[in-house]
Amino acid sequence: MSREAFIEHYETHHRVIGEKYLRGYAIKYQRRYLTPPEPAAADSTDLPFDVLMEIWFPDKDRMEAAMAIISSAEAQEEIIADEQRLFDRGLIRSYVVEEYESEMPEPTQLVGA
C-alpha cells in the first residue's frame, strides 16, 4: 500500500474506529506519519514504521477505563479487522510514557530572512 493510501485509509476509517472507543475518555488522539527524507523515497519500505499514534488522557483512571472498553471482544473484533488491512500486527508496539518538556525562549529572527 502506498504511503498516501495508508494515510487516506487511516484518516477516513481507522481514526473513526479509534474515536468511537476513545470519545469521553481521551483528550487527544493524534497521528504522526513518517515523512521520508527524500520525496523519491515516499513509498520506501526502509522506514522503521508508518505512523506514531498518540492518545492523551487527563489521568490514569480515564486511560484504564478506555483500555477496558478497547479490550472488549466487540471492540477488538472491529479494531483487529481494520488493523489487518493496514499493519503487520506482529510489529505493533504500545507504550505508556512519561512526558518531560523544556521551556524554550521565543525563537529569534532567522538570519537572512
Per-domain boundaries in the chain: 3-91
Q: Quickly state the pLDDT bin for 113 (edges 50, 70, 90).
A: low
> Of 30-34, 60-64, 90-94, where does mean pLDDT reach its minimum?
90-94
Q: What is the pLDDT of residue 64?
A: 97
Q: What is the pLDDT of residue 40?
A: 60
Q: pLDDT tens digits for 32-51?
A: 998 877 766 555 566 778 89
Q: Which residues of 41-69 are buried (b: 16+ CB within 10 A; e: fewer)?
A: eeeeeeeeebeeeebebeeeebbeebeee
Q: What is the pLDDT of residue 112?
A: 73
Q: What is the pLDDT of residue 57?
A: 97
37 or 29, higher pLDDT:
29
**Residues 50-62: what's their mean pLDDT?**
95
Q: What is the pLDDT of residue 33?
A: 92
**Residues 80-101: what's their mean pLDDT?**
91
Nearest to 48 by CA among 91, 86, 77, 109: 91
Q: State yes or no: pLDDT of 20 exceeds 70.
A: yes
